[in-house]
Chain A
Amino acid sequence: MTSGAQPASFPAPGAEARCFDEAAVRQMELFVRDFGRMYRERNDALREVTRAHHAALLQLSMVAELKDDDTGVHIVRIGYLAEALALKLGQTAGYARMLRKAAPMHDIGKIGIPDQVLKKPGPLTPEERQVMNRHAAMGAEILGRSHNIPVFRMAAEVAATHHERWDGTGYPAGLSDEAIPLSGRITAVVDFFDALTMDRVYRPAFSVDTALQMLASERGRAFDPAVVDVFLLHRAEIDALRIRVSQERPSFDDLIDWS
């Protein structure tokens, strides 16, 4: 759509300033038009490849999840809850949308954890714990291979840092406070809440109130106080979203495409 406003005072219509010879302009226009076509074709192709790659990595994340859980909807919920919390924290819609697409892959590294550790019913030995904790770095490595695409760069960041703790006692790097990227701080909180409020093979779901209390008690310990505060402030809305996602079960396509 174009609205060509006429020059107000100078120069007179039809006598506008020209820079180039007429033939040169026509040739330039053809170059630009061809370039535009190639630009669009290249972007479409890149989008398609990114999409397919993203879908494959989400499938892989779901497989990793299914190894220690009976449902894949958890990872989709993580995406939507992380997006909602990011928006409540005042992040841009673009950042929040990217987090929705990135956060569900945070546990993809579990694909590399042996089943006897991942699926062990009882508590883990210190050695097993060490093996288990490797999933963060492994996930970051898998996702980091696509670091030139922003959403995978963020996903790698989330995978690497979602087990860091605000007080600095987390893993793998022992980062603390704001040295932990916001994406990781947000994902840690929604992962904690969502995991508590779902049934596990070894325990039934905690009530929402209990989960919120447990979340509050980790304020400033495991989690960023500001993130916990905003979560608690909007707890009704966030929990309603959790229930809605569980019921509507958005597909990976919804997760990737919906803007």
Chain B
Amino acid sequence: MKKILIVEDHLDIRKLLKMTLEFDDFEIHEASTGDAGWVLAQEIHPDIVLLDVMMPGSLTGLDVCRRIKSDPNMRHTKVIMLTARVQASDREMGMAAGADDYLMKPFSTLQVLEKIYRLEATL
């Protein structure tokens, strides 16, 4: 079973994401800040991380992405950045931080699954 980590500060969004992932068989982990997400990622070595860009705390989503991508224990880990539609530059910044894909909010339930399946196929 693939391990997915959701790092998102909004409780409601996190819950909707989690419910979407429950359509399929995934092992789901959650964190509500970049700092907590980074700690959890180092512990569980997730296969896929859904990572919000803007979060409170000392680490933004981009920081967490860069750290995951430079951690030798998480070479297999794929990162999908969650960005708000208004922040068009988020995509470029996400890609520069090593993100594998990105999702615009509000997200489509099917798109979340499709992106995950696509990344999963490369694992």
Contacts and interface: CB of A to CB of B under 8 A. Distances in A.
**A and B: interacting chains:** yes
Interface of A: 1-11, 16-20, 25, 28-29, 32-33, 35-36, 39-40, 92, 94
Given A10-B56, A32-B19, A17 B10 contact: yes
B77 interface: no
- Those 7 A-B pairs whose CB atoms lie nearest each other, nearest first: A8-B35, A5-B31, A5-B36, A8-B36, A16-B11, A36-B23, A10-B56
Given A8-B39, A20-B12, 17 more contacts: A5-B32, A7-B9, A9-B56, A9-B58, A11-B9, A11-B56, A16-B11, A17-B56, A18-B10, A18-B11, A18-B12, A19-B13, A28-B12, A28-B16, A36-B20, A39-B110, A92-B122
10 contacts: A2-B29, A6-B32, A7-B36, A8-B35, A17-B10, A18-B12, A19-B10, A29-B16, A29-B19, A32-B16
Contacts of B40: 3, 5
Nearest to A11: B56
Interface residues of B, number: 32
Nearest to A37: B23
B121 interface: yes
A10 B57 contact: yes
Contact of A5 (B22, B30, B121): B30
B20 A32 contact: yes
B75 interface: no
B33 A10 contact: yes
A89 B2 CA distance: 25
Interface of B: 9-13, 15-16, 18-20, 22-23, 27-33, 35-37, 39-40, 44, 56-58, 109-110, 121-122
Contacts of B36: 5-8
Contacts of A94: 121
A33 B19 contact: yes
Contacts of B39: 5, 8
A5, A18, A19: which has the most chain B beta carbons within 10 Å?
A5
A163 B120 CA distance: 33
A39 B22 CA distance: 11
A20 B19 CA distance: 16
A36 B58 CA distance: 35
A32 B37 CA distance: 25
Nearest to B20: A32
Contacts of B10: 16-19
B9 A8 contact: no
A17, A20, A92: which has the most chain B beta carbons within 10 Å?
A17
A11 B18 CA distance: 20
Contacts of B23: 36, 39-40
A9 B57 CA distance: 6
A35 B18 CA distance: 14
Nearest to B120: A94
Given A9-B58, A11-B56, A17-B9, A2 B30 contact: yes
Given A17-B9, A92-B121, A9 B35 contact: yes
Contacts of B9: 7, 11, 16-17
A107 to B, nearest CB: 28
Contacts of B16: 28-29, 32
